Amino acid sequence: MRTIVGWMLAVLVCGTVSAQDPWEVAIKNGAQTQEGIRFCDHFTWGWLSHVDPITGLIPRNLNRDWWWNAKDSAADNYPFMVLTARMTGNHHLREVTRRMLETERAKTNRVDVLPDDYDFAKQGFRTEEIDMDSLIFGASEYSKDGLMPISEWIGPSPWFDRMEEMINSIWNHAKVETPFGNIPSDSVEVNGELLQTMSRLYWKNRDERMKSRLFRLADYYLLEKDLMEEDSIRLDDHGCEVIGGLSEAYYIASIEDPKRHAEYKPKMHRILDRVLEVGANVDGLLYNRVNPKTGEIQDDDLTDNWGYNYNAFLLVSQIDEEPRYREAVEKVLSNIHKYLDFQWERGSADGYADSIEGGINLSNRIPTESALQWIDDSMKILLAKQQPDGIIEGWHGDGNGARTTLMWVLLKTQGVTVSPWTEDLQVGATLDDQGALYLVLKNNWKWRGEIQFDRPRHREFFNMPSDYPRLNEFPEWFVVEEKVQYRVEIEGEEPKMLIGESLRHLKREMEPESELRIKISRVD
């Protein structure tokens, strides 16, 4: 399925294969990925030049707030240094980012394993008093926005372990009473983050206690509390998390608890229907904040998190075979190109990053030519915001620019990475109408390393039954199945057959200023 989607994407982006040589498309994509990798490298080294010299941790912001915190430094900035290091295979970055995790765990835990703000001037906690709500919020943000995307890409790791231990610790301090038992917070943001993170943790380990707690949260919102009877609901950041989180719990219920799924269904559909009724403009873009009871638009600025919300629509459409929710996604994707000049979050790089991220995730499932062109054009705006020293805007949101750039790079390589991925390399790929991968590497300097092909991470890393639409994922494009056979044609060499397990890490050498062309076809 993902290979077919990838082929559709290639055709839509590039026109029909007969109209454009796939090798030329791959070369063009490679020039774009070089820009993207340079952007992420420079971002990472730029921020590392500002670390606290004692701990090696990065500050929250560069013009103020000289401390590390979980909800910003750890959630929004640090993770995409980790992922830049992992995707490029840079040994030094991998070591630095690994040590930062070790330091964070050793120095910032305040209650159990829940981290608190760490002041560099004091070399200790920033506040004297313990604020449990703040600790729970910080850990939920760090888990959902930081550790979850790392884990989606690299699978089991110390970062996954950190996420799991914090989520369990949060539940040890669940004090908010509900008819279904205590929950950790009365915040829709925190609970939405927990719903998303716990869904991934449940699929990974099939822990019944995790599922029970997950359903306790979902029961509260889908059987007891009525979000559509609130005076206000945010479809923007700091509110939209609950819609995506509920859709993930809804997915689990549809597979493992049909009775609960049936009980959830009326309110889940009511939420989505009401969002479309009062929260969307004529093109399907969503407002920041509305009153779901009266339909009043309370903040008519358009949210850069439109794609985050529409992940839920697409997932529910798949679960319940409800075409109107998929049609809503198709509508917004067919109109997003009209908003190329829109100032997301008043022109912030973070606003562009979040908006483009949503477009990439949805385009992985519903490729739309105009939306894909909008992604490329919007990326030019985002990349141009970087300063010569690698810093983007000098606050913790800089990391989100790197996150989205890495996602865009993977779109342009169909999920292929190389190690080491040096800045002189151009790596680009596309698919033909048969689903065959055309991969081109070009370099300036001698290169020796591995070409790494993506795998069905949703299944191999998380045991998920399908690659369902979700926030903070890295979409799968061309994936190499472990037991499937592939025909590998390297220009200048005899074709050979390789099993997927052997193909995933293809060792190669390139002389300076050379070009390597590889065609890979699945043999069914």
pLDDT category, 524, cuts 50, 70, 90?
Answer: confident
Q: Is residue 302 part of a domain?
A: yes
- The pLDDT tens digits for 511-521 are 999 999 999 99
Per DSSP, 17 falls in state G
- Residue 30's Cβ-side half-sphere holds a number of Cα atoms within 13 Å equal to 25
What percent of the chain is predicted at pLDDT more than 90?
Answer: 96
Asked whether residue 193 is domain-assigned, the answer is: yes
- pLDDT for 112 equals 98
Residue 209 lies inside a defined structural domain of this protein: yes
Give residue 123's domain range. 58-423
Instruction: Please give the Cα distance from 524 to 260 (Å, whole number).
Output: 39
pLDDT band for position 10 (cuts 50, 70, 90): very low
DSSP 434: T
Q: How many CB atoms lie within 10 A of CB 178?
A: 16
How many other C-beta atoms can be found within 10 angstroms of the C-beta atom of residue 387? 12
The tokens of 266 are what? 């009326």
356/376 Cα distance (integer angstroms): 9
Cβ atoms of residues 194 and 170 within 8 Å: yes
Count CB neighbours of 145 within 10 A: 25
Check whether 28 has a pLDDT greater than 90. yes
Q: Would residue 472 count as lying in a domain? A: no
Q: What pLDDT score does 19 carry?
A: 62
The band of 399, judged by pLDDT with boundaries at 50, 70 and 90, is: very high
In a domain, 162, yes or no: yes
Contacts of 398 (CB under 8 A, 6+ apart): 43, 47, 77, 349, 350, 391, 392
For the chain, how many helices (H) and strands (E)? 18, 16
Above pLDDT 70, what percent of the chain? 96
Per-residue pLDDT at 292 exceeds 50? yes
Instruction: Supply the DSSP symbol for 18.
Output: G
pLDDT at 269 over 90: yes
pLDDT at 7 over 90: no
CB 520 within 8 A of CB 486: yes
Q: Is residue 305 part of a domain?
A: yes
Q: How far apart are CA 109 and CA 485, in angstroms?
A: 47
Output the domain CATH number for residue 141: 1.50.10.20
Distance, CA of 245 to CA of 305 (rounded, Å): 14
Q: Which of 273, 263, 320, 267 is nearest to 295 (CA)?
A: 273
Taking 80 as the threshold, does the pLDDT of residue 15 lie above it?
no
Quote the distance between the C-alpha of residue 434 and its chain's center.
Answer: 28
Within a domain: 489: no
How many structural domains does the chain have? 1
The pLDDT, as a whole number, for residue 157 is: 99
pTM over 0.85: yes
In a domain, 171, yes or no: yes
Q: What CA–CA distance (Å, rounded) separates 261 from 257?
A: 6
